């Protein structure tokens, strides 16, 4: 059983009754659900995931006033709930898995993930929050929220980055994709610096994943689940399959044997399959950037498009940031 389904069924079986019977003053004031850290909050958990931080559990979110009055007592009752449920053993908490479920204070929950307690008030605040943090703050499911405070913040975050912030991040990803994949990978291979080449590929893959999420207006999850999540996107989901080809590509060092210092300075080494895959990915990204009105022109080198993308930003503060910031 998926963790989200288990959580909801466990809450409906025990959580609602616990609140109504033991804490009548909180009836209509508690948000319940499961969100935050953990593969189960993304719906990506599987049999491998069940060795830690998996089991019957849910979150109860209270505003600060209610939390200060009832938080500890409610948590004490929560801990008395049956450890096992529908044949599933109690939650095995890992060394860093504590505090993810149970009774939580709404502003503290968001602050622990985002560094702020509410929806960002301006572009600069939005710029400071990593995509992965926003993903954790908005994943999972809210089973019910009669007071609406938890969902108010959640909906504000799900509205996504302001457009100027999204464009700035897209420009930064284009710059890194060009630098790592289209430029430094080949130079490292030419020098025989294979560790540097692998690192360049890793940077390219991560930036490409982020670019695709930004083009979809979806928050990218933690790196472990970045590629898995791309299957559910509507814009450029095929890049996920192409990235997989790049990740499992066999050693390409033979393609660079006998290459001189001046070879492939301004042309591509078509004998290296990774080079060809990188260019194919950049071409797909360029087509979508053009379709979204963020750039124009057919030059496949993404660096040439970064300034054009930056010109689409209307906020002078955001437009003035260094190209790779974001």
Kindly report the average pLDDT of the chain as a whole number: 95
SS3 68: helix
Question: What tens digit of pLDDT does each residue of 173-209 get?
Answer: 999 999 999 999 999 999 999 999 999 999 999 999 9
Q: What's the confidence (pLDDT) of residue 268?
A: 95
Residue 226 corresponds to which tokens in the numbers above? 């970045």
| Structure-token pair, residue 210 | 């982020």
The encoded tokens of residue 145 equal 């929220």
pLDDT in the model for residue 31: 98
The answer to whether residue 157 scores a pLDDT higher than 90 is yes
Checking if the pLDDT of 94 tops 90, the result is no
Measuring CA to CA, which residue among 103, 63, 100, 99 is closest to residue 80? 103
Residue for token digits 């791309």? 230
Local confidence band at 99 (pLDDT 50, 70, 90 cut-offs): confident
pLDDT, tens digit, for every residue of 291-302?
A: 999 999 999 999
Q: What is the mean pLDDT of residues 2-23?
A: 95
Mean pLDDT of 242-254: 97
Percent of the chain scoring above 90 in pLDDT: 88
Q: Are 294 and 312 in contact (CB under 8 A)?
A: yes
């Amino acid at each position: 059983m998926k963790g989200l389904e288990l959580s909801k069924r466990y809450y409906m079986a025990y959580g609602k009754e616990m609140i109504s019977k033991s804490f009548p003053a909180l009836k209509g004031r508690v948000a319940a659900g499961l969100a935050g850290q953990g593969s189960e909050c993304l719906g990506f958990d599987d049999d491998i995931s069940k060795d830690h931080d998996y089991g019957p559990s849910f979150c109860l979110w209270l505003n600060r006033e209610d939390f200060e009055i009832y938080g500890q007592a409610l948590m004490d009752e929560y801990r008395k709930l049956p450890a096992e449920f529908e044949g599933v053993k109690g939650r095995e908490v890992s060394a860093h898995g504590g505090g993810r479920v149970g009774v939580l204070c709404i502003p503290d929950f968001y602050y622990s993930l985002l560094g702020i307690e509410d929806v960002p008030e301006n572009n600069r605040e939005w710029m400071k929050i990593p995509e992965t943090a926003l993903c954790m703050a908005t994943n999972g499911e809210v089973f019910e929220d009669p007071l609406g405070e938890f969902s108010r913040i959640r909906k504000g975050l799900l509205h996504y980055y302001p457009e100027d912030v999204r464009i700035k991040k897209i420009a930064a990803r284009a710059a890194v994709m060009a630098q790592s994949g289209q430029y430094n990978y080949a130079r490292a291979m030419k020098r025989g610096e294979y560790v540097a080449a692998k690192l360049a590929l890793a940077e390219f893959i991560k930036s490409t994943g982020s670019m695709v999420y930004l083009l979809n207006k979806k928050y990218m999850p933690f790196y472990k689940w970045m590629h898995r999540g791309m299957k559910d996107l509507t814009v450029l989901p095929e890049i996920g399959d192409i990235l997989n080809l790049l990740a499992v590509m066999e050693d390409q060092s033979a393609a660079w044997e006998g290459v001189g210092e001046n070879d492939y300075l301004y042309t591509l080494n078509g004998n290296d399959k990774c080079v060809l895959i990188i260019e194919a990915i950049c071409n797909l990204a360029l087509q979508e950037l053009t379709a979204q009105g963020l750039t124009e022109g057919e030059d496949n080198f993404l660096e040439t498009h970064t300034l054009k993308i930056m010109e689409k930003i209307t906020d002078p503060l955001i437009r003035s940031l260094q190209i790779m910031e974001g």
